[in-house]
Amino acid sequence: MPLMTETMTKKTRVRFAPSPTGLLHVGSARAALFNWLYARHTGGTFLVRIEDTDLERSTEEATQQILESLEWLGLTPDEPVEYQARRAHIHRAYLERLLESGHAYRCYCPKEKLDELREKARAEGRIFAYRREMFPEEEARKLEAAGAPCVIRFRAPVGGTTAFDDIVYGHIEVENDTIGDFVIARPDGTPLYNFTNVVDDIDMGITLVCRGEDHVPNTPKQIMIYRALGVEPPQFAHLPLILGPDKQKLSKRHGATGVTEFRAMGILPEALVNYLALLGWAPPEAEFEEVMPLEELIARFSLDRVSKSPAVFDHEKLLWMNGVYIRKTPRPRIEALVRERLAQRWPAVEKPDFMPPNPALSRDEWLSGIIGLAIERCRTLTEFPDLLAYFFEAPKSYEEKAAKKFLANEAQIAALEHVGKLLDDAWARATESADPAKNQNPETLEQWCQAMEDPLRVWAESEGIKFGNVAQPIRLAVTGKTASPPLFHVLWFLGREETIRRINALVTWARARLTESGARSGDPPTA
Ligand code: GLU
């Protein structure tokens, strides 16, 4: 039997440790995701620890938002969430150990003396690093006896270096003397970040720390604490910054940055996960399919393929990817999500007495049909209500350029009026030959559309009018615009009555406009 190596026996345990001071930023969400992917890939455990010891900046609301965002993304921890503030007794016990072993000490050096030392170092062009020897021991004892306040400092090694091999950034080494004895607990006894972070990672059995590169400067100090406690430090993987397209740190200026904002915009969690996974990570081959199912991301993920150059957040690309996900997600799920958004804008649509404008269809058939018309054109869930608005409300205005082009004179207006009548007649006959309501399959709807279109084409030809000049005024009447999903599909879901009503409304509107402009120019309306 082969000998078990440490890596074979030690199961991976990683954690995401956010400070609850605001929304879950995409940068942090990516750190959570990379930890989660790594845990899934290695068959390890993914944990979440809320670092809420900074009572002034931490809020309960931010904690809830972060946990909700993680859940929405599917990045739920494998064990109950840990809260750092509830672990004070553990921090205290470890602090005692360091004080007892002499790796930490109570420092009474007053602020004025520290300022003086700092100023001296600056004047001499040296990095300031505090050392115990800089404040006379007997003065410290006197202050101690007088009950003066003190901080607790970690006694950093003198001389030599502290080094680690970061999985992303490679070998990093710092001179211990540039660090000096750093503070690990405030005068009120509450411990500081570098200390609590290490204690909790030890206590939670963390084997690898993956977090933002802003923590690189903290790592040597943390490694010193691990060693002082006699514990082998975990592996480290720091993730590069995320920038906006202008190569500045990603911020509000560049648009949405919080996970909840993306959710509100109608981004799907699967799309955001896929997008974030490729933000600084890529599989080995030069060309690969960017839309990658989650199982494949898990199977292929590795931290050593994380790039150390900053990643640029590209909103357009995320929107593109979201559009792909909208179309590849099973239809019932997309329909449910879009229906929620439609009901937010038109609450009547989910009320029991809602009647679709085409009474041949049930609510479900109608909603499914109109959502199907928009699905190729939407990149986010919020675009659906915008694109489908004309199914709920008659146009309040018409595209000016189109109105001028297609309804400039009485002949054109009369043609539209006639087309309205042709459509009304064709409707009954078309439904006789192909009733999409009875036979819910795409071909029947196509046949119905053809049966509606044919008489219009015959008439247009006999009048010498281009078919486009017949179709566009109808489209303008029903949608207010000149671009829409296929016209006869739109008419089917809008229903006979509403279609004719809207055509007549445009006819009336166009005539009134003609009379008005004729009156203004003094000419009689032209026929
Ligand atoms: N609470 C720290 C932060 O939000 C995370 C530290 C870590 O992951 O080690 O930046």
**Same-domain pairing of 378 and 411:** no
- Are 368 and 421 contained in the same domain? no
Orientation of helix 193-203 relative to helix 219-228, angle to 10°: 60
DSSP secondary structure letter of residue 190: P
411 and 508, same domain (yes or no): yes
What percentage of the chain reaches a pLDDT higher than 70?
Answer: 97
CATH of the domain at 476: 1.10.10.350
Is ligand 1 within 6 A of the CB of residue 211? yes
Q: Ligand 1 pocket, 215 CB below 6 A?
A: yes
Q: Does the pLDDT value for residue 333 go beyond 60?
A: yes
Stretch 150-166: mean pLDDT, rounded? 98
Q: What is the pLDDT of residues 135-147, one digit of tens each?
A: 999 999 999 999 9
Q: Are residues 377 and 405 in the same domain?
A: no
Is 49 near ligand 1, meaning CB less than 6 Å away?
no
Q: What is the pLDDT of residue 252?
A: 87
Distance 135 CA to ligand 1 centre (A): 32
Taken in order 412, 417, 420, 426, is the CA torsion positive or negative? negative
Residue 107, ligand 1, Cβ within 6 A: no
**19 Cβ below 6 A of ligand 1:** yes
Q: Is the CB of 18 under 6 A from ligand 1?
A: yes
User: What pLDDT is attached to residue 1?
Assistant: 42
Ligand 1 near 322 CB (within 6 A): no
Q: For ligand 1, what atom is nearest to the CA of residue 197?
A: 9
DSSP letter string over 222-264? HHHHHHHTT----EEEEEPPEE-TTSSBP-GGGS--BHHHHHH
Answer yes or no: are the C-beta atoms of 265 and 319 closer than 8 Å: no
Examine the domain organization and report whether 479 and 374 are in the same domain.
no
207 alpha carbon to ligand 1 midpoint, in Å?
16
Lowest pLDDT segment from 11-20, 170-179, 228-237, 439-448:
439-448
Q: Is residue 512 part of a domain?
A: yes
Place of tokens 């202050």: 143
- In this prediction, residues 50-54 reach a mean pLDDT of 93
Could you list the residue range(s) of the whole structural domain that residue 375 is in? 330-391
Q: How far is the CA of 17 from the centre of ligand 1 (A)?
A: 5
* Confidence check: pLDDT of 151 > 60: yes
252, 328, 351, 421: the active-site residue: 252
Query: Does residue 51 have its Cβ closer than 6 Å to ligand 1?
Result: yes
Listed residues 345, 368, 391: the one ending a domain: 391
Assess whether the C-beta atom of 17 lies below 6 angstroms from ligand 1: yes
Domains in the chain, number:
2
**Ligand 1 atom closest to the CA of 214, numbered from 1:** 10
pLDDT of residue 414: 97
CA of 210, closest atom in ligand 1: 8
**Inside any domain, residue 373:** yes
Would you say residue 297 has pLDDT above 90?
A: yes
In whole angstroms, what is the distance from residue 464 CA to residue 99 CA?
98
Residue 212 CA to ligand 1 center (angstroms) comes to 8
CA of 308 to the centre of ligand 1 (A): 19
Per-residue pLDDT tens digits for 347-361: 999 999 999 999 999
Q: d(Cα 513, Cα 407) in Å, to the nearest integer?
A: 10
Dump pLDDT digits (tens) for 243-288. 999 999 998 898 889 999 999 999 999 999 999 999 999 999 888 9
Determine the atom of ligand 1 nearest the C-alpha atom of 201: 9
Q: Which residue, judged by its Cα, is nearest atom 6 of ligand 1? A: 17
Q: Is the CB of 223 under 6 A from ligand 1?
A: no
How many A from CA of 18 to the centre of ligand 1? 5
In this structure, the number of other CB atoms found within 10 A of the CB of residue 246 comes to 10
Tell me, in angstroms, the distance from the centre of ligand 1 to residue 463's CA. 74
What pLDDT score was predicted for residue 165? 98
Helix (H, G, I), strand (E, B) or coil at 106: strand
Q: Tell me: do 378 and 460 sit in the same domain.
A: no
Ligand 1 pocket test, candidate residues 21, 211, 221, most atoms within 8 A of CB: 211
The residue contributing the CA closest to ligand 1 atom 5 is 17
Q: What is the mean pLDDT of the chain?
A: 94
Q: Report yes or no: 279 and 243 within 8 Å, Cβ to Cβ.
A: no
- Is 70 exceeded by the pLDDT of residue 7? no
Asked if residue 521 has pLDDT above 60, the reply is: yes
Please check whether residues 384 and 405 belong to one and the same domain. no
Ligand 1 lined by 490 (C-beta under 6 Å): no
Q: What residue type is 330 in one-letter code?
A: P
**Looking at the structure, do residues 383 and 411 belong to the same domain, yes or no?**
no
User: How confident is the model over 393-405, as a mean pLDDT?
Assistant: 96
pLDDT at 523: 55
Confirm whether 264 is domain-assigned: no
Do 425 and 493 sit in the same domain of this protein? yes
Q: Where residue 522 falls among pLDDT bands split at 50, 70, 90?
A: low
Asked whether the predicted pLDDT for residue 508 surpasses 90, the reply is yes
pLDDT at 410: 96
pLDDT of residue 10: 73
Instruction: Write the CB contacts of 7 (distance below 8 Å, at least 6 apart in sequence).
Output: none
Question: Is 131 contained in some domain?
Answer: no
With respect to residue 505, please indicate whether it lies within any of the assigned structural domains: yes
Assigned domain for 101 exists: no
Residue 214, burial from CB neighbour count under 10 angstroms (0-12, 13-18, 19+): exposed
**Of 391, 415, 435, which marks where a domain is finished?**
391
Quick one: the chain helix, strand, coil %, rounded to 5? Answer: 55, 10, 35
In a domain, 420, yes or no: yes
Would you state the pLDDT for residue 262? 97
- The CA 361 to ligand 1 mean position distance, Å, reads 54
* 407 and 481 assigned to the same domain: yes
Distance CA 499, CA 485 (A): 15
Closest ligand 1 atom to Cα of 18: 4
Confidence of residue 516 (pLDDT cuts 50, 70, 90): confident
Whole-number pLDDT of residue 9: 56
Answer yes or no: do 507 and 404 share one domain.
Answer: yes
For ligand 1, pick from 82, 209, 215, 218 the residue to mutate: most ligand atoms within 8 Å of CB.
215
Residue 280 lies in a domain: no
Per-residue pLDDT for 90 more than 60?
yes
User: Per-residue pLDDT for 6 more than 80?
Assistant: no
432 and 341, same structural domain?
A: no
User: If residue 208 lies in a helix (H) or strand (E), which one and from where to where?
Assistant: strand 208-212
pLDDT at 323 over 60: yes
Residue 466: active-site member: no
Domain boundary among 342, 369, 391: 391
